Structure 1
Amino acid sequence: MSHGRMNSADERRRVAIPRRSTKGPLDAVEDDPLAALSSQHAPSAIERSPSRPARSPAPRSPHLHDALTSPVSRTTTSPPALQKDFSFLQDASAYHVLPASNIPPPFLNAPNIPSVSSPIDTLLLSGHYRLAAIAAARNLVSSTPPTDYTTLFHLLHIRLACLCLIDEHALAAQEAKVFGDLNSAFYYADEAIGGRGRHLVPWELRILVVRLAALGYGEWRKGVMGYYELARECREAILSSSTDEEKSIWRARLRDCGIRVANVLVEMGDLEGAGRHLASLGPASAEGEEGEKERREVTVMEALTWLRLGDITAARKCLASLSSSQSDELLDGTLKALLQLADSDYASAVASFESLHSRFPSDAMVTQNLAVCLLYTGRIAEAKDLLSALAHETQPFHSLVFNLCTVYELCTERNQDSKLALASTMAARKSDGSVGWEISNADFKL
């Protein structure tokens, strides 16, 4: 086996080295820019973070899917007995200025943009994720005591999740490095207050950081290993839990880690491995009707993975194994139509989606899939009418905007004007928070 010299600029070879502090916890902190903000809250003796990751160039942003399903409400402040200094999370240089070059001008100049000083919960509920990310960073750096770890983690979770929602994955991955090693003993509660073994960082934030760590170092395998490490913690927690409720929570988390591993495999391009991994997941954590619903969801994921891989036979076997007791007319009909589409039977797929559209006229997913099938069969004008109506009647989403702009390109040479007009319409709308208000140049194909 030959050994070659490694490129020193290779981001994947960089390791975060603990920062050697030259000052003790009792020394003066006059040179600390955050001291003025936290002097009245910080105790005289505090424990400092054992490590701070080195900053490195941001990697290129891959195309990933991440979403914040609902805003997390602020919880109570951290217990005063736990005196750990998290001021390293408040380093302003760790947070980037968000670029505006990838946003269409109508969104930058929209008249109904709220102020960045608006409450963060309001910004989240209205779908203004870019402004929420900016507001979270400001509050994180300037207005939170360094020992209030609950609020710090809450704000950092909002910041990272919102960056993912506006497709700034590279920046989110870079900023997530501010945590350093989350497996460090520093992130666990002190034994003195009876919390030994309790991780201070919320579970949902740890899940997100694992994914961003893989992005930040350019190695998806780091994500797989991170999820397996969390899965090991889930198994230990299940064995040590004293109540059925706690065991149920940790079993659900274990199941979630397994599904996220499959997601990483898909993003790595190993679709076959993802399908086999989903098929190998153990029995559902819940029993009865809830357990059947959980098993059905995983089976549908597996079927969609095989469809993406192009293995129609395996996808049909998955769907055939679904229990009829949990049948869903909309979902089952959509999967059947997708099988026909994957089998290049476009006429049958159009008929299936038309039938679904007549029964579920308000379902945006069915309408868009029908338009795509019509496009495949050469009925471009009908596809354009469907997508245009959908864009004006519902909250637009990324694939809808992208598909409609593709139709513009097929219909006219002056498609740039049509795209900008669509962007102006999207920017003038009032979002209900079901999808993000801001849409990037890439979605408009500008």
Structure 2
Amino acid sequence: MSSHDERRRVAIPRRSTKGPLDVDDDPLAALSQSQHALPVDRVRSPSRPSASPAPRSPRLKSPISPSPAEPPALKDFSFLQDPSAYHVLPAATVPAPFLNAPNTPSVASPIDTLLLSGHYRLAAIAAARNLVTSTPPTDYTTLFHLLHIRLACLCLINEHALAAQEAKVFGDLSSSFYNADDGRGKHLVPWELRVLVVRLAALGYGEWRKGVMGYYELARECREQFTKTEDEAEKGAWSVRLRDCGIRVANVLVEMGDLEGAGRHLAGLGAAENESRDLKLMETLVWLRLGDVTAARRCLADVSDSNEEDLLEGTLQALIHLADSDYTSAASAFEALRDKHPSDAMVSQNLAVCLLYMGRIAEAKTLLEDLAGESLPFHSLVFNLSTIFELRTERNRDSKIGLASRIATRNVDGSVGWEMSNADFKL
């Protein structure tokens, strides 16, 4: 039976065999009947490109061996352009001020502009439209780039479940169909996008074991590629990716509630030779998440090129004090960082959290309100300020809606106006 989404383009009549992504439980089949599918009159399937391989000579009887003069057939990724795989984004979760903001740009604006200005919902819509209507089915580089934007933007607007559903459009990313036909078998899908898809498998449905399995599969590929390549730079890249997968497994175990297992796994990774600074900082955060302050201090002390003036390291040192319930030391550390980095909103926000824990609610409220009016808004800032509204008065809903209105109507060089959900404002 022929599939509704043609998996590859060849220059011969379609045979009855199945493609590499044709499986009995096709994840796209269920999505085709989704009630949230984009209207057909708004998003249409793209037409076939005019250029195609020359027809096969009738003298050739073999349906497999191509003519030496015939160019190889390009892989057809048109199954990624199925409109029913991409959902209409719900508006019920968005505060009214953001839906009616006066400075909202057009969805036809360049995607890069929408991303820079923080309009992630519009960027997600634009990415889906361009993916479905404006990209040739053989231009996999552009298709994967647009899909990456779409899924990442859905995560940024807290639509993880939708992102997890839409990520199923890939099918089995471990299939050889996604490997390049150059003899080296290089995977066509960018590594960062594959990591995101694994993350969504765990985060979107709370199926954490799928996330662990997905990271182990990526780790297996890292080991294989590390063994195959002779280029030292490539070896280094695969080694970093392998370590990254290991730390992400520990993070998923923390989210599963298996803190003991996460600690054993992370300790079992051992010390990597010449481990990058970013990975060390990432590992420190995971140690903090599972509550091992001693291990977090030890890991942070191992960061290469340590610099007391460094913002990230200083922030982690202050967070370690905070995790150890030493609020006075944490507040002092964040105040020192704020003196050195007065324009860093995250430092000021963490200082406000310390003041809140110390019972200095009025000071924390003033600090967060100043941030909401001057800096670029972000989720934790809004959530913490909404929490302070709840602590100060029972009639806090008006304060939350007023905060949403102030953020939605701001317009500083087009960089402010980030859309947030009701959950961010605790509405």
TM range, normalised to the smaller chain? Answer: 0.7 to 0.9
The code of the aligned residue for 1:238 comes to F
1:440 to 396, 421, 426: 421
Which residues of structure 2 form unaligned runs of 5+? 32-52, 54-70
Give how far 1:318 is off.
3.9
The code of the aligned residue for 1:244 comes to E
1:262 to 235, 242, 250: 250
2-structure distance, mates of 1:435, 1:54 = 37
Partner of 1:235: 223
1:405 to 386, 398, 401: 386
The code of the aligned residue for 1:149 comes to Y
Answer yes or no: is the 8 Å Cα contact 2:308–2:314 preserved in 1.
no
Partner of 1:277: 265
Partner of 2:21: 50
1-structure distance, mates of 2:166, 2:3 = 24
Structure 1 residues 148 and 335, CA, compared in 2 at 3 Å: closer, same or farther?
Answer: closer
Partner of 2:197: 209
Work out whether 1:374 is the aligned partner of 2:355.
Answer: yes
Answer yes or no: is the 8 Å Cα contact 1:299–1:318 preserved in 2.
yes
Answer yes or no: is the 8 Å Cα contact 1:228–1:257 preserved in 2.
yes
Structure 1 residues 392 and 86, CA, compared in 2 at 3 Å: closer, same or farther?
Answer: same
The code of the aligned residue for 2:21 comes to P
Partner of 2:164: 173
Which residues of structure 1 form unaligned runs of 5+? 1-19, 27-41, 58-78
Instruction: Give me the identity figure in percent.
Output: 72
2-structure distance, mates of 1:269, 1:159 = 30
The code of the aligned residue for 1:170 comes to A
Structure 1 residues 403 and 208, CA, compared in 2 at 3 Å: closer, same or farther?
Answer: same
1:147-226 to 2 correspondences below 5 Å: 147-190=138-181, 194-215=182-203, 218-226=206-214
1-structure distance, mates of 2:113, 2:6 = 38
Answer yes or no: is the 8 Å Cα contact 1:350–1:374 preserved in 2.
yes
Alignment TM-score, normalising by the size of structure 1: 0.76
Match of 2:27, SS state, is coil
Alignment TM-score, normalising by the size of structure 2: 0.79
Partner of 1:416: 397
Partner of 1:118: 109
The code of the aligned residue for 1:85 comes to D
Partner of 1:142: 133
Answer yes or no: is the 8 Å Cα contact 1:127–1:432 preserved in 2.
no
Structure 1 residues 356 and 90, CA, compared in 2 at 3 Å: closer, same or farther?
Answer: closer
Paired residues in the alignment total 381
Answer yes or no: is the 8 Å Cα contact 1:86–1:146 preserved in 2.
yes
1-structure distance, mates of 2:96, 2:158 = 17
1:77-88 to 2 correspondences below 5 Å: 81-88=72-79
Structure 1 residues 216 and 423, CA, compared in 2 at 3 Å: closer, same or farther?
Answer: closer
Match of 2:423, SS state, is helix
Work out whether 1:249 is the aligned partner of 2:237.
Answer: yes
The code of the aligned residue for 1:380 comes to I
1-structure distance, mates of 2:350, 2:311 = 13
Give how far 1:329 is off.
4.9
Match of 2:189, SS state, is coil
2-structure distance, mates of 1:237, 1:333 = 36
Cα root mean square deviation, aligned: 3.1
